Structure 1
Amino acid sequence: MAENQKDQRQQEPQQSVIAKALVTGFTSGILWSGLGAIAYYFNFTEVSPASFIFRSFWQTDWTGTWLAEVLAVLIVGILSLGTALIYYLLLKKRNGMWPGVFYGIGLWAVVYFLLTPIFPAIPAFMELNSDTWVTTGCLFILYGVFIGYSISYEYREFNETVNSYSNQGRV
C-alpha cells in the first residue's frame, strides 16, 4: 500500500508550495470579500469591496450595482495574491492560529488606518460605526487565519513529503 501511494505521488505533477499559496490567496480574497459584500448588503458594515475599489474613484450609477460588487470581489481576489505571497515569505514556518490572527489584524489596521486617506468614499475610522469595526475586523481576522493555516499546512506537508522521500532513499 505504501509503495502504491509513493507511485501515485510520483505520477502526479508536484504543484509548488508558492503556487498553492497564490491559489489560497485568490480563493480567500474571493471568499472573504464576497462575505464582506454580503455583510454590506445586510447593513452589518458601512463599507463594501466596491466602496474601496470603485466608489472612491468614480461617482457613477454603476458603482452602486451588484456588477460593481462582483468586479470588486474579483479585484480583491487578485490583490490577495500579494498578501498571500507576503505571508508565504514572512510567516510560512509559523504553525497555529495566532500568526494568521495577527496577520489579519495587521492587514485590517493597514487598510483602515494607513490606506483610508487614499479612498475618499471611505469615512475616517472614527466616523465608522462600531458594527463596521467589528464586522470588518472579524472578516480580516478570518481572512488571515484562512491564509495562515492553509499556507503553513501546505509548507509543512511539502517538507514532510520531501523529507520522507529523502529518508527512504537512505535506507
Structure 2
Amino acid sequence: MAEKQKDQRQQEPQQSVIGKALITGFIAGILWSGLGTIAYYFNFTQVSPASFIFRSFWQTDWTGTWLAEVLAVVIIGILSLGTALLYYLTMKKLNGIWPGMLFGIALWAVVYLVLTPVFPAIPTFLDLNSDTWVTTGCLFILYGVFIGYSISYEYREFNETANSYSNEGRI
C-alpha cells in the first residue's frame, strides 16, 4: 500500500509539470505578444500580432482595431501552448538562459524568414526596417528565455522532489 502511494506521488507531479509548462506557454504568449502590440503602437516595429493573425487573411476595417489586437494576443497565447509543449518535449533538461535564448532566436527565424510567405500582410525580411528586426528579435528572445527557464526550472524542481521521495525510503 505504501509503495502504491509513493508511486502515485511521483506520477502526479509529472502531470502537473506538463500542465505548468502549458500555463507558462499561454502566459508567455499573452505577455510577449501584448508587449509586441505596445511596441507596434509606439512604432518600434512595423508588424503587430493582428498583422499575422488577421490582416494577412482579411482586409476589413475591424482588423485595425483594438479588438483585433486583443483577439490576436489571445490567439497567440493559445498557439503558444504548442510552442511550450515543443520546448518541454525537446529541451526541458537544459538549464540556464542560453537554451531559451537560442529557442527564441530559432522561433524568430522561423517566423520572419520561413513563414513570411504564409502571411501576406507582413513585408519580407529585407523590406522590414532595422527597428523591427531588433524589437521583434528581442521580444522573441525574451519569450524563449521566459518559456525555457520556467519549464526547465519546473522540471528540475520535480526531479529534485522525486529524488527526495525515493531517498526517504533509504534513510
TM normalised by structure 1 equals: 0.92
Structure 2 residue 38 is the aligned partner of structure 1 residue 34: no
The superposition leaves residues 97-155 of structure 1 with CA deviations (integer Å, 9 ceiling, x where unpaired) of 00000000000000001100000000000000000000000000000000000000000
RMSD: 1.0
The residue type equivalent to 1:75 in the other structure is I
| Aligned residue in 2 for 1:136 | 136
Q: What are the residue-to-residue correspondences of 1:12-161 with 2, within 5 Å?
A: 14=13, 16-161=16-161
| Aligned residue in 1 for 2:5 | none
The runs of at least 4 consecutive aligned structure 1 residues that moved more than 4 Å come to none
**Any idea what SS the aligned residue of 1:84 has?**
helix
CA separation in 2, counterparts of 1:102 and 1:150?
Answer: 15
The superposition leaves residues 26-65 of structure 1 with CA deviations (integer Å, 9 ceiling, x where unpaired) of 0000000000000000000000000000000000000000
Report the alpha carbon displacement of residue 90 of structure 1 after superposing the two structures with TM.
0.6
**Any idea what SS the aligned residue of 1:16 has?**
helix
**Any idea what SS the aligned residue of 1:121 has?**
coil
Report the alpha carbon displacement of residue 16 of structure 1 after superposing the two structures with TM.
1.6
Q: How many pairs does the alignment contain? A: 160
- Among the aligned pairs, what percent are the same residue? 82
Q: Any stretches of 5+ residues in structure 2 without a counterpart?
A: 1-8
**Any idea what SS the aligned residue of 1:170 has?**
coil
| Aligned residue in 1 for 2:166 | 166
TM normalised by structure 2 equals: 0.92
